[in-house]
Amino acid sequence: MNLYVVRHADALSIGGNIRSDFERTLSERGRSDAAMMARVLAQIDLDISAVMTSPLVRAAETGKIFGGELKREPEASKHLEPGFIARGLAEEIQNRSNGGGIVVIGHQPDMSLFISYLISPAHAAAVSMETCAVACVDLQSTGQAQLRWLLTPESVRSIM
């Protein structure tokens, strides 16, 4: 199964009407990057069965944009809240797997740590995820995983 690990798109900073990290909404650049990356992912894989997001606003907004492009209603998961336990998310993904790809959208450093958890038994791998980066992990039913590729908005803009 293709698992797409996404860091939420660029968000506004705390200040003004935004009083906490939980209330941060996407910036204009974030909305633009999310739309671009969602279009690219839709061109790469037409067989996406689920889009899961952190319940925080910026991740949910990113999920809504991805879900619209992929024609899947995003669903919030407690397993994508900041500081989540990688094993819990991996189990939820395996339970939801029906052959199609799954997109998970969350935060840093959790998304990098989750990829490391999947691809490196000793958790020795380091993966850098900038905002709205999309990583494709080939996740087998046995739990074995391999990082296939990682795209950033900057790299996509440079080839478009």
Number of Cβ within a 10 Å radius of residue 13: 9
Query: What is the residue whose two structure tokens read 């319940």?
Result: 55
Please name which of 132, 127, 129, 126 lies closest in space to residue 157, comparing C-alpha atoms: 132
Task: Please provide the size of the chain in residues.
Answer: 160
Domains, the chain:
2-159 (3.40.50.1240)
Q: What are phi and psi of 52, to 5 degrees?
A: -115, 140
User: Using one digit for the tens of pLDDT, what is the confidence trace for 32-68?
Assistant: 999 999 999 999 988 999 999 999 999 999 999 999 9
Q: Specify the pTM.
A: 0.95
Nearest to 110 by CA among 136, 129, 133: 129
**pLDDT tens, residue by residue, 62-115:** 999 999 999 999 999 999 999 999 999 999 998 888 878 999 999 999 999 999
